Every structure is written in structure tokens, then in C-alpha cells.
Chains A and B, each alone.
Chain A
Amino acid sequence: MKQYAYFPGCSLEKMGLSYHMSAMETTQRLGVELHELEDWNCCGATAYFHVNGDLALALNARNLAMAEKQNLDVVCPCSGCYKNMSSVRAELQADVHAAGRINSALEADNLHFTGKSAVRHLVEVLVEDVGLDEIKSRMTHPLAGMKIAAYYGCQMVRPKKDSEDVEQPTFFEELMATTGADPIDFPLRLRCCGGSLIISSRQPALSLVHDLLQNAVDHGATVIATACPMCQINLECYQRQVNEVFGTKFSVPVLYFTQLMGLAMGVAPKRLGIGSEFVSPKPVLAFCDRPSAA
């Protein structure tokens, strides 16, 4: 059993609850033990970085320091939280002065940061620590024939600077392939969904969402698989607005990758939080055979 400190992040509490549910269902079946980080606080999203650098550092350092106390690495299902915590960890390890300032603030909450706890994305943990072969062996209900557009988004992959992999990663498609479905060629898979711009700069964000939906449809996607609640919400909950503005007729299911994995593992849709979408997931469920549980 591999153990980790689980950092759900604010979105998974309600907006992205189905991500949390399906993450629990799948990790339990894969030998991954996720212990929710006690008393975790918000990672600051992008807003904190817009307002004050040190506050953003402190916010994330508190979470990291608490994980250190438990001697566990942190797993983030949300790409935004993942990016914030891993880059803050890197920054504090590289900048002795910043670490000094932040640690003196953390003292007020009896915490101390050293950087001992690594920060992992849920996708990373499944691919690297569990392994694709092991995952494939658990897929008792393969989603044969389903076309998945594996959407990486931005912050799961960037700003790490490993030029060659950053521009052409394949791990997310490989993970989706374990479900028995076909990950399709999805050229815009690394392009931004707009993130919080859906609120603060509506027009550009809707244009980005439109481009992604169009690209997925053009390449025959049954469903878009996401690894971040912001991406999921932008791509799914705003399809109506996109259709209004661009005159399109999109109705593309957008699910969390853990929901798709869960279906392939034979987990009942309800347990995976399926049913709370704006866009009906019927096209996806049509690929689910329900033989007797293996």
C-alpha cells in the first residue's frame, strides 16, 4: 500500500466533488492510500499570486509543512493546486531568504517547512508509482471503442522545463489507454482552457474553450478526459455559452479521468459522481458493458 497526504483543494469539495469521489474509488482499488491532509488550506489558485507573493508562498508552505509533519508526500488531483504547491516548494528550496521569511511566519502556527515532502499530481502517481501494467490488469470492464480526447491542460505539465517532454508528453494518453478505450489524436491537448479567465476575461476564455471543443469534435472524441476541476468546469459547464456566442451546437461529455477509469473498473456510475453534469454523459455510458463483476 502506498501512502500519501491527499490534498483535495477547494474545488473538489463541491464543484468538483465527482473528481473526489472517483479518485477515492479508483485509488482504493489500485493500492494507493490517500490520507486527507488534516486542516489543509486553499492553495491560493491564481488570485493570491496576483495580490501578494509572500502570502501565496505562506499559503502553500503551510500545507507542505503539515504534510512534512506526517512524513508523507502530497498528492494533488487538481492541476492548479499541484502547480502552486510544487513551484512554491521549489522556490523556497532555492531561495534561502524567502524560506527564512516564510518559516518565521509559519512559526506562528507551529509549523516549519524544509521541502522534505514531494508534491505529486494524481496522474503522475498512478502512472509512475502504480504503473500502467498494474492499472490495466484491474480494468475488468474495458471501454472498447470509446474515443477519449486526453486533455492535459497547462499546469500538470508546465512550468517544469524539460523542453522535449513538455511539448510532447504521452503519459496521459497511455493512462487512458489502460481503460481499453482509444486515446485519439488531439492536437490542442496542451492548450489552455482559460482557467480563471472564464470569470475575469470571459470573452477570450470562451474562445479558448470553443477551440478545444471544436478540436475534440473534429477528431472524433466521444468524451474529453480532464485532470483538473477548472478545465472540467470550463469545458463542460460553459458549452451553452460557447454555443450562444459562436453559433455552434456542442454537446461533448467532459469527465474526470478517474471517472473513466472507474467505469472501466466496473464501478457503478453513481459512486463515481456521474449524474451531476450539464452535458449528458450518455454517449460514454453506452460503452459500458455491465457483465457480472469480475
Chain B
Amino acid sequence: MSERVGVYICHCGSNIAGTVDVEAVAKWAGEKLAPRGVVVARDYKFMCSSLGQELVEKDIHELGLTRVVVAACSPHLHEKTFRGACARAGLNPYLCELVSVREQDSWVHTDRQAATQKAMALISGAVERVVHDAPLEPLHVPINPATLIVGGGIAGISAALEIADSGTRVYLVEREPSIGGHMAQFDKTFPTLDCSACILTPKMFDAGNHPNITLLTWSEVEKVDGYVGNFTVTVRKKARYVNTASCTGCGICWEKCPKKVADTVFEAGLGNRKAVYRPFAQAVPKYPVIDAENCTYFKTGKCKACQLFCPTEPNSIDFTQKDEILELKVGNILLATGFDLFDAKRIPQYGYGRLPNVFTSLEFERLCNAAGPTEGKIVLRDRKTVPQSVAIIHCVGSRDENYNRYCSAICCMQSLKFAHIVQERTEAEVYNFYIDIRAAAKDYEEFYDRILEEGGHFIRGKVAEITDAARFPGEEGKLIVQVEDTLIGKQRRIPVDMVVLSAGLEPRHDAKEVGKRFGISCSVNGWFTERHPKLDPVATMTEGIFIAGCAQGPKDIPATVVQGAAAAARIMGRIQQKEIALEPIRATIDEARCSGCRICNSLCPFNAITFHEDRAVSEVNPALCQGCGTCVAACPAGAISGTGFSNDQVLAQLEGILLRNVDGHKVAVAEPVAA
């Protein structure tokens, strides 16, 4: 063995040393692995400290180390640190191996002797492997400065403005006819009680008019090809059947349209729109769309009232318009697709859908909104009666094993806001039914205090059922909320006129498919998965794809805006660097051995393998490849090898772990195969 290996084992305070006898392991490595190339073996309290790193650097210089093994915590945490130390000392960083003797040893075992033996075996494995390591250079790929943002809610809009302001192009794709998202539906926002539209529409306007933002509404992403820095995205711009070059947004078309349709999106089913419509008054862009599925002309060939009355020259209604397919080239993608509301019908005992005066939170927002179906009047489903008592139910479909385990983060504050609005606009008695009041962010607790001062009943109890079956006097004709008032320990039946269900937030119904289209995954609850829940909430495991807002998990508007800005900053940083270095741990296909069976093609979770029809071989795109190893394992011809995970390296490591390399045992490794 001509390599000179340095072995370092970290105490990590008592995290490792408390269970593993690190000094003994260092001594053992220095003695028993010396014939295998180890020239120095040290233990140290905190290897990741600058002093610890300097130990490694010093030995590289003074002892001429050619390979380094560090036994410490998980490589996720400090692989980069030690590779950096090696690089500073002039050693190729990919000649450094990390062994986890913490997460894989000291933190999962209690038997000191066994744990120490295991540490020795793990280090022995790393020593065997590291001599097969080859110096590698990271891949450099250029970054296209254009950015794609999917989702035109407040998260997408915030990010788009930040990036566009920095001078690069942004494509903002939104599936609805207008940007604005859920925030455009709200009346007021907590805790400031700002009018939602008033704070949102200026941003919408900016986004719609920014020279660097290309707004693609009524559009959807159909396909994503390529890799970080070089994505090719296919976008279907659905036909609006409106000529945006001539349309002035005057609104005569939808005024004259005879076909009413229940607006299940913007009005949450509470109001109607026409077959040709603009979702709301401040829509950006101002151009309407024709809902072909409900349009009389498209269904029967008759009507065309919109075209008839359109005053522009040339006429802005164009029934012959076709969907447009666009191919966008971008360097980074941000998914800010938002949330769907929990379907309250799934809780039959709350009566939503069966008892008319039970409303969801989004329906109630539309009721409160001055531009909504009741012009801001809080009335019952009959559109006339003002309720004299309103019950607001927290935790509908959240914190519940039967529906969604998680807390939806915003419902408590939203419920308090509702309580305020009801008190402000009616004389009604307000009841809030809660389990806990979650008011954790800035000014939230103070808001809760304010609502308490305004009067209103706060009953701690998760509502058992809402019924119209009267059993006691005073209940006839009312909705009865049956609940245990846990703070006084009594079951109560409280008759009210109106019930508002603070329904939870859920991932979009198609989040999984969308994730797959972009090559990212969803958590068990269906939210897009971030790279690290604490320290990296806007990046994903796929380079170049970012997430922000409720698509990542339930959160309020301030947090959404922050995430949008964070994602924008990351992207802007990448754009500024002009190129990105990618990990060279990749799979490569030996063309000579590839039979063109294409088994690997569909297995790749990152769509990184392309098939060359002309040569009948597959090829791995090194920029897209994440080095997961699936194709390496699957290839029946053994034609694929993973850089950094070659057969030699893996088999040598196994021999080392089995300690077949010490005390004169012969190491049995297959002869290296010509690459």
C-alpha cells in the first residue's frame, strides 16, 4: 500500500466518547491498521473546531498524508468541513472519508464494549475504502439567469418582485386567470386588521407591470426537462378566448353573458360568476377568460353575447383561440403553489353541507369581504337574516388523528379575527370553541388580548357535534353546538344562528403529481419536502428547485413573505455566481457494456437518464444525477458505476468492516475492472 492514511476520531464531547472508548480506538487504528496504510491515528475532543481541523491540515503537510479518514458525526453535518480542511492543505477533498460513529454508533447503542468494537470496524472499513478513492473535481454548470416561479399567490409574488428588482427575468406562472392566490379572497388580515386586498393589490400591480416579470396566468407547467441552471420548461398557456392586445377590461362581456356559474374557486361556492369572467375586480391581468366547459357557445353553438357586445376594435372575443405551448429556458425554479382548504364535509357531525348555516372559513371570508357576494354583510345562507349568535369552531380537521395530525398554524388567529369582525359588524353574541389558543408570532398575543377585551365567549372544548335536533327549550330553530366546557367540566349545548368552521390547511390536491413533475418529493402529510426543516426550509433535495409559502407547510402571511424572500435571495445568489459546482458523486454508464435495455431510464427518480436512439445506449446527465445509486444496482449488465461508489470501493469497505484486513487476514477484493 503506497497511500499514507491519517485517521482521526472525535470525542464530540461526551456524545461519542461517552459510549465509545475513543482513545482505545485511535490506538487500535494506529497499530492494527498500520499495515493497511495508516501512518497516524489521533483522537480529539472536537474535530470540527478550527483546532481540530488544523490537526488534519498539519498532518497533511508534515506527514505527507495522501488519504484522510475522520470518524465523527454524520457526514450530513461535517463532510464539507473536513473536505474543506483537506482542500486548504492541498489534498483533493474527495480523498477524505467520513465515518459516522455517532448517529450510527454511540447514539444508538448502550453497550460500551460492543460500541467500541463497532467503531473500530467502521474505521477499518473506511481505511480500506479510502485507498480506492480517486481525486475528483466538482462539475461546473452555468446558470441561466432567468427564473420560473410557479404560483402567483403572495409567496410567488413576493419572490418574483425581489428577483425582478435585482435585474433578471422572472416567469410567473399561475393556473387561475389572475394572480393573488388565497390572500385575494380574504377580507382582513391578522393581527393588524389590514384590508387584505389593500396590501396585496399594490404588489399584484407591481408584478403585473414589472418590466422583468413575464406574467403567464391561466397557464400550467406541463413538463420540466434539464437540470439546475439549465431547465427547459414546457408551459401550456390556456386559451382565454380573449384577445389581450385589444381587450380593455371594460367588463361589458361578462355583464351581458347570460350563463351563471357557481364560483367554487374565488367565491368558495358562495357566489356566482359568468361563463366569461374575471375572478375579482382588482384582477391582474385585467383580461377575462371564457370557461369553455360552461360556455353556451362552446356547448351548443349559440349565444356569443360577449362577442356581440364587445366594444373594442378589433373585437376582443376570439372563440378560435388555441392553447399556446411555450418553452421557457430558466436556471432556477420556485414552487409556491399554496394550499387547499380541508373539506369540512368529512366531519359529518359538524353538519357542513347538510345544515345550511354552517360555513367554512373561506366562505366566511367572502361573506365579510365588501366585494363579496353579500357586499360585506354578515348574513345567513338566506342572504337576509343577520345572525344573533355566531359560533366559531377551531381545529376543524387539524390536530386530529382521524383527519390531519398537524396543526394548521393560522386557524386560531383567523378565528380571533372572525370574532372581531362579527362584533364590529353585528350585535351578535360570539362564541369561540378552542382547545388551545396559538398566538405565537409578533403582536399575536396582544391581538388575542384585544379580542378578549372586546367581549365574546371563549369556551375551551373541542366541539363534539353541531345539530339542529332540538332537545331542550330555546333550541328550536337553532344550530346547537354540543361541547364540553372543559374549564368548568360541564357538557353544554349552546344554541346559535350561525357556525363558522375554521377548517385546516391541506396540500393542494395535486401536490404529489406536481412534485413529481418537478422532481421533488412530498412529506407524509403531502407538503413539499424541504432540504432541512430547521436550517434550509426553502431548498429541496433537487438542485435548482425551491419551495416557499404554504406549499411547504401551513404558515401565516408574514412567514410566507419571508420564505418567498429567502428563496429569492438563494436564487439571486446563484444567478450572481453565474455557475454552480455540483457534487461529482454521479453515476456513469459504460457505453461498451450498455445493451440498451433501458431498465435504468424509468427507475431514475431524477429523470437523469436519456436514451440515445441512434446508438441504442443510455446516458446519465451528470448535472441531474444525484448519485442515488438506483440505476447502478438495477443494471443487469453491470454497465453503470457510481463515481465514489465503485464496486472496488464498496467491497473494500465491506472487507474492512468485517475486519478481514487485520491480523494478516487477506483482503479479498475483485480485481479492478477497466472503467
Q: Measuring CB to CB, which residues of chain A are less than 8 angstroms from any residue of chain B?
A: 161, 163-164, 167-168, 187-188, 211, 214-215
Contact = CB atoms under 8 A, between A and B. Distances in A.
Contacts of B349: 167
11 contacts: A163-B346, A163-B347, A163-B348, A163-B402, A163-B403, A164-B346, A164-B348, A167-B348, A187-B467, A211-B471, A215-B471
Contacts of B347: 163, 167
Contact of A161 (B348, B402, B467, B468): B402
Query: 4 tightest CB-CB pairs across the interface, nearest first?
Result: A187-B469, A167-B348, A168-B348, A163-B402
Contacts of A188: 469
A168 B350 CA distance: 11
A215 B346 contact: no
Contacts of A164: 346, 348
A214 B475 CA distance: 15
A86 B237 CA distance: 56
A215 to B, nearest CB: 7
Contacts of B468: 187
A167 B402 CA distance: 12
B581 to A, nearest CB: 51
Nearest to B467: A187
A161 to B, nearest CB: 7
A177 to B, nearest CB: 19
Nearest to A161: B402
A230 to B, nearest CB: 22
Interface string B396-414: 0000001100000000000
A96 B494 CA distance: 46
A225 to B, nearest CB: 19
Given A214-B471, A215-B469, 18 more contacts: A161-B402, A163-B346, A163-B347, A163-B348, A163-B402, A163-B403, A164-B346, A164-B348, A167-B347, A167-B348, A167-B349, A168-B348, A187-B467, A187-B468, A187-B469, A188-B469, A211-B471, A215-B471
Interface residues of B, number: 10
A188 B346 CA distance: 20
By CB atoms of chain A within 10 A, which of B346, B402, B467, B469 has the most? B469
A168 B403 CA distance: 16
Contacts of A167: 347-349
Contacts of A211: 471
Contacts of B469: 187-188, 215
A214 to B, nearest CB: 8
Nearest to A191: B469
A214 B347 CA distance: 26
A242 to B, nearest CB: 15
Contacts, number: 20
A190 to B, nearest CB: 9
Contacts of A187: 467-469
B360 to A, nearest CB: 17
Contacts of B346: 163-164
A187 B403 CA distance: 24
A283 to B, nearest CB: 23
A168 B354 CA distance: 11
Nearest to A214: B471
Nearest to A187: B469
A214 B471 CA distance: 9
A102 to B, nearest CB: 29
A51 to B, nearest CB: 29
A49 B471 CA distance: 32
Interface string B424-467: 00000000000000000000000000000000000000000001
A204 to B, nearest CB: 12
A161 B402 CA distance: 9
Nearest to B471: A211
Contacts of B402: 161, 163
A264 to B, nearest CB: 28
B586 to A, nearest CB: 46
Nearest to B354: A168
A208 to B, nearest CB: 11
A211 B349 CA distance: 18
A167 B465 CA distance: 10
Interface in B358-402: 402
Contacts of A168: 348
A280 B209 CA distance: 80
Nearest to A169: B348
B501 to A, nearest CB: 15
A120 B349 CA distance: 26
Nearest to A190: B349
A161 B403 CA distance: 12
Nearest to B465: A167
A164 B403 CA distance: 10
Contacts of B348: 163-164, 167-168
Of B347, B467, B471, chain A has the most CB atoms within 10 Å of the CB of B471
Nearest to B346: A164
Interface string B320-351: 00000000000000000000000000111100
B348 to A, nearest CB: 4
Nearest to B400: A163
Nearest to A188: B469
A168 B347 CA distance: 10
A187 B468 CA distance: 9
A250 to B, nearest CB: 15
B502 to A, nearest CB: 19
Contacts of A161: 402
Contacts of A214: 471
A216 B471 CA distance: 12
A254 B189 CA distance: 55
B342 to A, nearest CB: 13
A161 B349 CA distance: 14
A40 B471 CA distance: 42
A164 B353 CA distance: 13
A193 to B, nearest CB: 15
A56 to B, nearest CB: 26
A68 B102 CA distance: 52
Contacts of B403: 163
A191 to B, nearest CB: 10
B37 to A, nearest CB: 51
Contacts of A215: 469, 471
Contacts of A163: 346-348, 402-403
B47 to A, nearest CB: 46
Nearest to A215: B469
A164 B349 CA distance: 9
B610 to A, nearest CB: 46
A215 B347 CA distance: 23
A98 to B, nearest CB: 23
A149 to B, nearest CB: 13
A24 B248 CA distance: 77
A201 to B, nearest CB: 16
A91 to B, nearest CB: 19
Q: Which of A163, A164, A211, A214 has the most CB of B within 10 A?
A: A163
A114 to B, nearest CB: 30
A152 B559 CA distance: 48
A238 B403 CA distance: 40
A36 to B, nearest CB: 37
A150 to B, nearest CB: 15
A288 B333 CA distance: 73
A191 B347 CA distance: 17
Nearest to A219: B469
Nearest to A165: B348
Interface in B467-488: 467-469, 471
